[in-house]
Amino acid sequence: MTDPSLNPEQLQALAAAGIAAPSIHNTQPWWFRTTADARTFQVYADRSRSLPVLDPDGRALHLSVGAALFNLRVAAHHLGREPSVRLLPDTTEPSLLAEFDLGQPATDPDLFGLDLYPAISQRHSSRQPFTNRDVPEAVLGELITAAYGEDAVLSPLEEAGVRRVMELTSEAERRTAADPARLAATRQWLRLDESAPDGIPQAALGPQDHEARVPMRSFTGHPPTAGGHSERFEALPQLATLSTRADEPVDWLRAGQALERVWLVATVHGVRVSVLHQALEWPDTRWKLRDPSEGPGHVQLVLRLGYGPPGPTTPRRAVEDVLKAADDQDSP
Ligand SMILES: Cc1cc2nc3c(=O)[nH]c(=O)nc-3n(C[C@H](O)[C@H](O)[C@H](O)COP(=O)(O)O)c2cc1C
């Protein structure tokens, strides 16, 4: 019989997995709490870490928290618990985005198909050029299945789709570069101080594409400053869109979980990932990301997949700053 409550070390391990998730600009817009009986683990949005200019409706915030939630589910399963999640469980508490019970023993040892737990700490954004090696169809198939398992659709793009999405992303990147408020909102999360617990450190920034084809986000503006340089990128990147049927907060949480599930499966297979979110930040370019031939759907993310150097580790806030006890009055 499983002891329903996790001990403090197990709870810390759980939270550490949650905070290892990707988040927009490494804002880490989450905090966690266990209920007084230590049987329920709750996941909250930390809205003081939102990006009002870039993400006014909180969509990217929900995607980020959804990614953390997926890591929490993998870690709970690793600790022998059945992570059945309730999304947005309390309409009177909109910042409570999800909760799950810690008391149910895991029943399916093969819940995610692969052991994803080790990949949580191995996964990083890789903004470097990739090689021209194709991601095999079989691996793409596993990534599609991973997204499907979270009620989302991953669509690897053919050449014409890749060119269309790169053009829309470049257009969004150009507009952002001409918008001082958006540039400032991004620069605010650049970290030159290596001891900072959040934001994007200089070492994690990649080069720009020498031929200006692959529209990597310039976190420092255009022309890039702060060590910005250019390199030759892969001839035709493997891009994929991640979509959901509807476009409500609950769908954004699903898409965030799908993002992380896809990314962890990719990591197990040695496939690197970076996110191209720029076109999602303008309503018209976001709308045009949809492939009408694929039917109705709302694109939530664009991913670039391939083989290349791993990305560096980025900082995280300490577990004790994020995991609060039920009676803690200091919660954000
Ligand atoms: C919703 C969302 C949007 C993101 N957008 C971008 C982006 O446009 N460009 C980029 O290089 N990384 C993007 N990222 C990746 C984050 O910058 C990255 O996860 C964060 O800096 C932490 O680094 P890590 O992924 O290596 O752990 C995004 C991540 C999320 C969850």
| Residue-wise pLDDT tens digits, 269-323 | 999 999 999 999 999 999 999 987 776 799 999 999 999 999 999 999 999 999 9
Stretch 163-186: mean pLDDT = 95
Compute the distance from residue 163 Cα to the ligand 1 centre, in Å: 22
**In this structure, is the dihedral angle defined by the CA atoms of residues 136, 137, 142 and 144, taken in order, positive or negative?**
positive
Beta strands 30-34 and 323-324: pairing type?
parallel
Compute the distance from residue 107 Cα to the ligand 1 centre, in Å: 33
Instruction: For residues 105 and 232, give the distance between their C-alpha atoms in angstroms, rounded to a whole number.
Output: 50
Contacts 24+ apart (CB under 8 A), 185-190: 185/51, 185/52, 185/53, 185/54, 186/25, 186/54, 186/217, 186/219, 187/219, 187/220, 187/221, 189/25, 189/26, 189/27, 189/219, 190/219, 190/220, 190/226
Domains 8-121+315-324 and 137-306 share a fold: yes
Question: For a pLDDT cut of 90, what percent of the chain falls above it?
Answer: 84
174 Cβ neighbours under 8 A, 6+ residues apart: 222
Helix/strand/coil for 147: helix
**Of all protein residues, whose CA lies closest to atom 12 belonging to ligand 1?**
275
Task: Please check the confidence at residue 232 and state whether its pLDDT lies above 50.
Answer: yes
Residue 60: in which H helix or E strand, if any?
helix 59-78
Nearest alpha carbon to residue 30 among 19, 14, 16, 17: 19
Q: What's the whole-number average pLDDT of the chain? A: 93
Pocket of ligand 1 (CB under 6 A): 22-26, 60, 63-64, 67, 124-125, 127, 200, 217, 274-278, 311, 314
Compute the distance from residue 125 Cα to the ligand 1 centre, in Å: 7
Tell me how far the alpha carbon of residue 6 is from its chain's centroid: 26
- How many C-alpha atoms does 79 have within 13 Å on its Cβ side? 26
* Confidence band of 331 (pLDDT split at 50, 70, 90): low
CA dihedral 239, 245, 250, 254 (to 10 degrees): -40
Nearest alpha carbon to residue 202 among 181, 176, 224, 175: 224
Where in the chain are the domains?
Answer: 8-121+315-324, 137-306
The phi and psi torsions of 31 (rounded to 5 degrees) equal -150, 160
**In this structure, is the dihedral angle defined by the CA atoms of residues 178, 224, 267 and 118, taken in order, positive or negative?**
negative
Compute the distance from residue 131 Cα to the ligand 1 centre, in Å: 21
For residue 281, the 8-state DSSP code is G
For residue 24, the 8-state DSSP code is G
Quote the pLDDT of residue 1. Answer: 43
For residue 136, the 8-state DSSP code is P
Does the domain spanning 137-306 belong to CATH 3.40.109.10?
A: yes
Nearest alpha carbon to residue 51 among 200, 217, 186, 169: 186
Query: Which of 65, 219, 254, 277 for a ligand 1 pocket mutation test, highest count of atoms within 8 Å of Cβ?
Result: 277
322 Cβ neighbours under 8 A, 6+ residues apart: 15, 18, 19, 28, 30, 31, 32
Task: Please check the confidence at residue 226 and state whether its pLDDT lies above 60.
Answer: no
Q: pTM for the complete prediction?
A: 0.96
Question: For a pLDDT cut of 70, what percent of the chain falls above it?
Answer: 95
According to CATH, what is the number of the domain 8-121+315-324? 3.40.109.10
pLDDT one-digit tens code per residue, 69-110: 999 999 999 999 998 999 999 999 999 999 999 888 999 989
